[in-house]
Amino acid sequence: MKQFALPRAGLRRITLASALMIPVSFSAMANDDLTLYTTREPGLIQPLLDSWTQSSGIKVNTVYIKDGMLERVKAEGANSPADLLMAVDVGNLVDLVEAGVTQPVDSATLKAAIPTNLRAEDNQWFALSMRARVLYADKDLPIDKWHYEQLASPEFKGKVCLRSGQHPYNTALVAAMISHHGEAKTETWLRGVKDNLARKATGGDRDVARDILGGICDMGLANSYYVGQMKSAKEGSDARKWGDAIKVVKPTFENGGTHVNISGAAVARHAPNKDNAIKLMEYLVSAPAQQIYARANYEYPVLKGVALDPIISEAIGEINVDNIPLTEIVKHRKQASLLVDKVGFDQ
């Protein structure tokens, strides 16, 4: 197989489709089709689908759904044309399972590629890519190692910026903290983090970097892929200035690893083309496809041995993923949300 190199910054998406013509062979594939419902950004997933169609002969009818995928699939019932359901955030995948609109998949390929903590115990959903919740810090701050628990330390009073505690990115982290330390200790931690806020918990992850540059705060938590987006932005742009103003530290739990969330997929319960849906998922965890996830959106591959995007490799590096199963973390979502409100985190 030929090696390929993807362009940097703004050129990457323009030429990505042509770079994806990677020969991947699948046995017993005939001309056919399947229907994908997805909440993923078209610019990321469509080139992958086009490449797979060219190599497999199977057409993907893609339905991009910003909100309400679960409600749509439920309303369609047994007549739903959906074969594969793809979503961002493990909570959204679990919601699909709990609503009874998915089915288990028995695939040795998926089980071999995806660690057990990144897939459902009953094989109802599988992670396809990861994003880590990391620490953005002023580049002059003397911090090299960090625990999530330290964000509540009194020494950082008035120095922390975060987006809303009710945003799924932060609710998932609070749920993970409950998994590690229990509800009572997590409430104490959350109150400590609130006391350390330099401003109201609001905005987005990139606003954390913006406000560090602006001197409003010294640190905050944000997703790893935004680092790639900012540091690859046009020289002199606001986003590039924000990215250049921070360094990134890989936090871990005191008794664990780095917290991650995922994009993932599940086969629809009434999938007319179940076999094709499974084959597509198996392709998406293959080395060529995982390389595209890493390069196109600065995400972490779920398949071991796949190289990171150079920007992420330099700014963050490999991560030690927390070993608590995502299924366990999701069980504490409601508790986490209630705690956020109880301590008045977003007020």
* CB-CB neighbours of 266 under 10 Å: 26
Bridge partner residues of 223 (DSSP): 133
Phi and psi at 163, nearest 5°, equal -80, 180
226 is in an annotated binding site: yes
Nearest-angstrom CA–CA distance, 18 and 32 = 23
Inter-residue contact 63 to 38 (CB < 8 Å) = yes
Cβ 50 vs Cβ 22: under 8 Å: no
d(CA 275, CA 63): 19
Q: For 81-120, b where at least 16 C-beta lie within 10 A, e where not — what string?
A: ebbbbbbbbbbbbbbbbeeebbbebebeebeebbeebbbb
Q: Write the DSSP symbol of residue 78.
A: G
Q: For residue 164, which of 156, 174, 154 has the smallest C-alpha distance?
A: 174
CA separation for the pair 126, 111 (Å, rounded): 9
Q: What angle do CA 282, 283, 284 make, to 5 degrees?
A: 90
For β-strands 260-268 and 126-138, DSSP reports them as: antiparallel
* 81/194 Cα distance (integer angstroms): 46
Q: What is the DSSP string of 128-153?
A: EEEEEEEEEEETTS--S-EEGGGGG-
- How far apart, in whole angstroms, are the C-alpha atoms of residue 82 and residue 268? 6
Residue 37 marked in a binding site: no
Show binding-site residues for Fe cation.
Answer: 225-226
Show binding-site residues.
Answer: 225-226
